[in-house]
Amino acid sequence: MRRWAGAVFPVAAVVAALLVGGVTLALLGADPLEGFRAMIEGAFGSGRALADTTSKAVPLLLVGVGITIAFRANVINIGGEGQIILGALFATIFALAVPDLPAGLMIPALLIAGFVGGAIWGAIPGALKAYFNVNEILSTIMLNIVAVQLMNYLLRGPLIDPAEIEAGTRIPQTMRLAPSGDLPVLLEGTRLNLGAVIAVLFAIAAYVFLWRTTAGFRIRAVGLNPHASRYAGIKVKRSIVAALTLSGALCGLAGVILVFGSESHRFVTDGSSTGFTGNAGFNGIVAALFGGLHPIGTIPASFLFGALLVGANKLQRVVQVPAALVVALNGLVVVFVVSSAIWKRRLEQRYLLEDSAKELVDQPAEVDDG
Amino acid sequence: MAEFFTTAIIVSTVASTFRFATSYLYAAIGETFGQRSGVLNLGVDGIMLLGAFGAYYTVLKSGNLWLALAVAAAIGMLMGLAMAYASVTLQAEQGISGIGFYLFGLGLSDLLFQKLVGTPLPIDGFPNLRIPLLADIPIVGEMLFDHSIIVYGAFLLVPVAAFVLNRTTVGLNIRAVGENPEAADTLGVSVAKVRYFTVILGSTLAGIGGAALATELGIFQQNLTAGQGFIAVALVYFGAWRPLGVMFGALLYGFVAAVVLQLKTLGVIPLGASDLAAMLPALITILALVVAVQRERQPAALTKPYERGE
Amino acid sequence: MKQLRNWTPAVLLVVFALVAAACGGGSGDTTTTAGEPAAEPFRIAVVAPSASNDLAFTQSMVDALNMIQSEMGGASAVEVAVTDGTFVVEDAAAAIKDYASQGYDLVIAHGSQYGGSLQEIAPQFPDVSFAWGTAGDTFGLPNVFAYEAASHEGGYVMGVMAAALSQSHVVGIVGPIEVGDAKLYVDGFKAGVLAQDPTADVKVNYTGSFSDVALAATAAESEIAAGADVLTGTAQMVVGAVGVAKEKGVLWFGTQADQTQLAPDIVVASQVYHWEVVLRQMIDLIKGGTLGGNAYVIDLANGGEVISYNPGFDLPAEVKQLGEDTIAGIKDGSIAVPRS
């Protein structure tokens, strides 16, 4: 019960943000109740709604788990957008180069390719920070810009669907990628695919890594206290690079799933990163925080955050307000949730105090027994 | 290639650099204050967008550019107050709350634009103000001294900011709070007050940066900043938390962007490589830092909330 | 701590109350819509990438739908739902599916980047008609229309006029990324300039972004510095380039929507898309039971593309005549605009 009491605050924060959204809806002349009903229906109302919510949650979960790892090493990874793109590019190039692989080999190979692509795009800021003192916020912002242009260049150039050139329409997208790379659909008639299972497995793996392995311990130690870690003989720089690399790798996986779990099974660009990622590189950070910066907690957090995004889109369609409202609401939810964390922390501190007080009371008895 | 070195083109490229760099220089100088006191504000882009819309709308309705600047500044101030409340009082995780403020500003500015204006109508910005005598210097005059007042303002802000940070008590307090809030607190400096001040100041400047963008371009549109606020944050790191360094970064980024566009126009960069060339401002900014290998360390308390020990 | 724990049920209560109220409020609404007059309205939904007031791609479609609505008898005869600003392709796919499942008669995916998704979605809704553009491919599906603009034709006409107006013989073009409709327009404009003035110098600058207005402005500055005295550009970020043209007093040609209002003194003409020309044909077919299969092109000949002159611009009569002659030539086929 106590463990879950803290979850009240983010939920209350979301509700508060939605109330503000409701007032805005009323101001725009729309019926807020109709809007909220649409939201709930759009996120949870049917099998397809649930599948859409889950599909939206998958990249958030992978990015969120990656963020958690980086966060534990005390680095903020805001390069998720670029890392997602690189992961998608690596996997896409692989699928175009080796289209004849059977599904049993293709899917693991794609995941590895995406993992590597994202890892590289995470390792660069890691190495720049560790060895050249280039702050990771600067390098990831810049590398996001670079990744977008690289994507645009490749998709309108070397990787473009030859049919687009033939027809003269030149839509910047690949051909339909090899069907053996399609992530199998889990629920007939929906988009729910193997990506969801993969994401959850990686979340569990990240938990095991952080809390059950020496490398994970090092990352957490560096995050908690780099100076003490250095004295303890931990190679701090190497741990920072490792954390950003892994963080990027998980974002890269999100990129693979966004392409190979998509409706079109193509990689297509509208010229921006958001068009492809749907801001997952940023929203995943929020999901991670929502989940208490814990890989397992990020699972339900991503699902709820995905529901919020999917539901808000449905709201836009039903009450016909500009889609910009959805973006503003998304931001408001983030601000409210992150700001509410203080009460959660205070609650936990009180529990802690209470526990130690209890121990103090219990201890003399133990001494007596001895 | 020789075509690139005609005087007209060099003058235009440099003049473009200053104009292009103006909006994010305001925001970056503002962000410098916040970070020096230990607060990272990643929401700059959203605040710029709201400031840009506020200024645009004011000009559209009143035609008064100074009022527009005041409105943008007020919007920035308000957003700064909210940001400070979240990150100082509520100790919210700064990297994340900033993303929230960014998305909020991105959405709200677009929503307001669609509801209050509807279709992009042009506005007239500040006219160019030729500085007497200086503007008549051949070449340099046209590059540097034939801009609007809002461009001069950004570059005049740099020495002012440097002076405030390095030579005044306020600056000393800001730096103390950013380096060692406990010690500052012991000396009677209110950490919270200083951080509220810097965050609000920074956001005000971000709002003005947005106003600079909207008035210089003479238009508003969804996502007008196209990520300039993020570049501004990056430049604070580039400049190692010193206004002069930040300005150098802003000019470098803007110069590379302007040169790349000029080389595209002249056909030196072939059409097929236009996306690859568009990476250059970002790549060169990183490379410049790698080559320079800076030794500066970030403010020790950056992103760390401060809670008075009891 | 006690107080805090007491919060929990209160908050949960609020949540449930809200959910309940929301669900309850909604169910009342559905019954009211059922009692409408007998004539079912024709329902059209459009999903589009940029804002519906972008004075460019998205606005051209929204304007057309509004026109269709008013000429078919207003909101009671035609219902139009708009989901704009959907640049996230995944969200667009969800929106397309959602509209289709709600039984809209025509769902328009107004963005070439949506096509790959539509190709998979359309077969799942065989009773719904879909249209997408700008593209020429219906994927061989019986319930998909495709539409595109021969933007190179209007581009060519305006290129011819631009060459005739240019004193410096340098013309500048600002583009986003070298793809799709943008490339088609840019190439057509360039061909027009060179057809009129083979010695002219055409500066083409793709900034690398559909949205970066400041970058488009700087690109325009670079072209003016290189001697250009007539500019054009395509996609929603060109408003920045128009501003620079206005400031420096060089001429501007617009496309996708009438851009005169951006700079009444220097906009010469705009190529305006009238999608209603093909929308009417689609709607007629759908009403007759044909849900797709055709690929439409709006062009100068069918009136889907119109060169709209700025009445406030003093265009020399001989240049306007040149433009009209070029239009006539393209219409009757004596001028063939190359499509690269």
Mean pLDDT by 10 residues, chain B (310 residues): 72 94 98 96 96 98 97 98 95 89 95 90 92 89 91 97 97 95 94 97 98 96 94 94 96 96 93 93 92 77 79
**CATH for C151-272+310-332, options being 2.40.100.10, 3.50.50.60, 2.60.40.10, 3.40.50.2300:** 3.40.50.2300
The 3-state DSSP composition of chain B as helix, strand, coil percent (nearest 5) reads 75, 0, 25
Q: What whole-number distance in Å separates Cα of residue A8 and Cα of residue C10?
A: 10
Q: Which amino acid is at A126?
A: G
Q: Which of C234, C280, C276 is nearest to C253 (CA)?
A: C234
Domain positions in chain B: 22-229
Q: Which amino acid is at C338?
A: P
Q: Which of B217, B249, B213, B189 is nearest to B29 (CA)?
A: B249
Q: What whole-number distance in Å separates Cα of residue C92 and Cα of residue C102?
A: 15
Q: Cβ of B271 and C178 within 8 Å?
A: yes
Q: What whole-number distance in Å separates Cα of residue B28 and Cα of residue A221?
A: 33
Q: Cβ of C25 and A34 within 8 Å?
A: yes
Please give the interface size between A and B, counted as residue pairs whose CB atoms are below 8 Å apart: 153
CATH fold match for the domains C42-149+275-298 and C151-272+310-332: yes
**H helices present in C213-316, as ranges:** 213-225, 239-248, 276-287
Give the position of tokens 């759908």: C286
Backbone φ and ψ for B40, nearest 5 degrees, come out as -90, 125
Q: Which of A67, A71, A129, A335 to mutate to test the interface with B (most CBs of B within 10 A)?
A: A335
What digits encode the pLDDT tens for the residues A116-157? 999 999 999 999 988 888 888 999 999 999 999 999 999 999
Backbone φ and ψ for C309, nearest 5 degrees, come out as -80, 145
Q: What whole-number distance in Å separates Cα of residue C15 and Cα of residue C8?
A: 11
**pLDDT (average), residues C187-216:** 96
Q: What are the helix and strand counts (H, E) for chain B?
A: 13, 2
Please report how the helices A32-44 and C2-34 are oriented relative to each other, as an axis angle in degrees rounded to 10.
100
Q: What whole-number distance in Å separates Cα of residue A238 and Cα of residue B98?
A: 28
Measure in Å the smallest separation between the Cα of C340 and chain A Cα atoms.
Answer: 7
**May I ask the CATH class of domain C42-149+275-298?**
alpha beta
Q: Does A274 touch chain C (CB under 8 A)?
A: yes
Do the beta carbons of residue B13 and residue B245 sit within 8 Å?
A: no
Domains plus CATH for chain A?
62-306 (1.10.3470)
Residues of A in contact with B95 (CB under 8 A): 76, 78, 285
Q: Which residues of chain A have pLDDT under 70?
A: 1-5, 362-370
Q: Does A214 touch chain B (CB under 8 A)?
A: no
Assigned token pair, B306: 């401060």
Whether the pLDDT of residue C38 is over 60: the answer is no
Q: Which of B33, B20, B58 is nearest to B206 (CA)?
A: B33
Query: Where is B151: in which H helix or E strand?
Result: helix B149-167
DSSP 8-state code for residue C49? S
Q: What whole-number distance in Å separates Cα of residue B231 and Cα of residue B202?
A: 15
Distances (CA, A) of A179 to A106, A108, A110, A265, C58: 10, 14, 12, 8, 33
What digits encode the pLDDT tens for the residues C140-181? 999 999 999 999 999 999 999 999 999 999 999 999 999 989
DSSP 8-state code for residue B145? S
Q: Is residue A142 classed as helix, strand or coil in its secondary structure?
A: helix
Q: Is residue C254 classed as helix, strand or coil in its secondary structure?
A: strand
Radius of gyration of chain B (CA): 20
Q: Around Cβ A228, how many Cβ atoms within 10 Å?
A: 11
Q: Which of A286, A319, A237, A244 is nearest to A61 (CA)?
A: A286
To the nearest whole percent, how much of chain C has pLDDT over 90?
76
Residues 6+ apart with CB under 8 A from B177: B37, B38, B184, B189, B191, B194, B195, B301, B306
pLDDT value of residue A291: 87
Task: Give ipTM to 2 decimals.
Answer: 0.92
CA angle centred on A223, ends A221 and A227, rounded to 5°:
70
Do the beta carbons of residue B80 and residue B202 sit within 8 Å?
A: yes
Residues 6+ apart with CB under 8 A from B133: none
Do the beta carbons of residue A270 and residue C89 sit within 8 Å?
A: yes
E strand segments, C27-155: 42-47, 78-83, 106-110, 129-133, 144-149
Q: Which of A187, A31, B218, B47 is nearest to C243 (CA)?
A: B218
DSSP 8-state code for residue C203? E
Assigned token pair, B158: 């740099």
Measure in Å the smallest separation between the Cα of A226 and chain B Cα atoms.
Answer: 13
* CA atoms in the 13 A half-sphere facing the CB of C25: 15
A window 185-244, beta carbon within 8 A of C: 189
Assigned token pair, A135: 């702050």
Residues of A in contact with B269 (CB under 8 A): none
pLDDT value of residue C9: 42
In the sheet where C129-133 sits, what is the strand order? C78-83, C42-47, C106-110, C129-133, C144-149, C295-298
Q: B225: nearest CA in chain C?
A: C212
pLDDT value of residue A364: 53
pLDDT value of residue C26: 38
Query: Where is B80: in which H helix or E strand?
Result: helix B65-84
Do the beta carbons of residue B220 and residue B52 sit within 8 Å?
A: yes
Q: What whole-number distance in Å separates Cα of residue A124 and Cα of residue A127?
A: 5
Query: Where is B146: in which H helix or E strand?
Result: strand B146-148
Residues of B in contact with A332 (CB under 8 A): 100, 104
Do the beta carbons of residue A263 and residue C93 sit within 8 Å?
A: yes
pLDDT value of residue C229: 97
In the sheet where C201-206 sits, what is the strand order? C201-206, C170-175, C230-233, C251-256, C267-273, C305-309
Q: What whole-number distance in Å separates Cα of residue B177 and Cα of residue B188?
A: 11
Q: Cβ of A142 and B283 within 8 Å?
A: yes
Q: What whole-number distance in Å separates Cα of residue B212 and Cα of residue B28?
A: 13
Q: B84: nearest CA in chain A?
A: A339
Q: Which of A1, A145, A263 to mutate to test the interface with C (most CBs of C within 10 A)?
A: A263
pLDDT value of residue C87: 85
Q: Does A25 touch chain C (CB under 8 A)?
A: no
Q: Which carries the bigger pLDDT value, residue C106 or residue A75?
A: C106
Distances (CA, A) of C142 to A262, A273, C207, C289, C294: 23, 33, 39, 11, 9
Assigned token pair, A347: 């609650």
CA angle centred on B309, ends B307 and C1, rounded to 5°:
80
pLDDT value of residue C340: 66
Q: Which of C121, C98, C108, C93 is nearest to A276 (CA)?
A: C93
Longest alpha-carbon distance in chain A: 89
Assigned token pair, C311: 């009445």
Per-residue pLDDT band at C23 (split at 50, 70, 90): very low
Radius of gyration of chain C (CA): 24
Q: Which carries the bigger pLDDT value, residue C318 or residue B295?
A: C318
Residues of A in contact with B44 (CB under 8 A): none
Assigned token pair, A351: 């529990």
Query: Where is A138: in which H helix or E strand?
Result: helix A136-156
Per-residue pLDDT band at C33 (split at 50, 70, 90): very low
Measure in Å the smallest separation between the Cα of C82 and chain A Cα atoms.
Answer: 7
Q: What whole-number distance in Å separates Cα of residue B279 and Cα of residue A236?
A: 31
pLDDT value of residue C34: 40
Domain positions in chain C: 42-149+275-298, 151-272+310-332
pLDDT value of residue A290: 83
